[in-house]
Amino acid sequence: MTTATPEIGRAKKAGLLGGPNHGSGVGRGTATPDAGYALTLTHEYLHQHHIVDTAEVNHHDLEVAMAALASKRAGLYGRGPSMSDVRFAFELAGITNGTGVVSPSFATKLRGVGHSYFLLRDFVDGVDVDLLRGTVAETPIASH
């Protein structure tokens, strides 16, 4: 009778090696579990606060940009997005307490991000990581 080789001594199976090395840097994004949920939360936030299309900003561009910021913020903490991340993203954008108004200067930064992955990555990568890690949005990105 032979004894099976212990698991420790066996070659690792491909499925047991863990996730791939995602890497980091400009244009690589931030890995976040269930990042798509941020879109649902952002959509809900927009409707709760009656933020609609204007001549300056497309609703879809705003929704995608805020969801991406919320996802990145959650990913920096190693968790999935929550409504507090979405609220924080809107505060960074200068849209607070249901004002429903997007400043024209911020609207130009959003133009097309809902329809171009590369524009979206540029927008999100342009936001300082330390600003996203903060607890209070002291400097809205709308003013940068």
Q: pLDDT at position 6, please?
A: 62
- Calculate helix-pair angle for 59-76, 83-92, nearest 10 degrees: 120
pTM: 0.74
pLDDT at 137: 45
What is the CA angle 134-137-142, rounded to 5? Answer: 125
Given pLDDT bands bounded at 50, 70 and 90, which one contains residue 7? low
Confidence of residue 11 (pLDDT cuts 50, 70, 90): low
pLDDT at 85 over 60: yes
Contacts of 38 (CB under 8 A, 6+ apart): 32, 67, 68, 70, 71, 74, 81, 85, 86
Least confident among 6-20, 53-67, 71-85? 6-20
Q: Which range among 1-15, 20-34, 111-125 has the greatest average pLDDT? A: 111-125
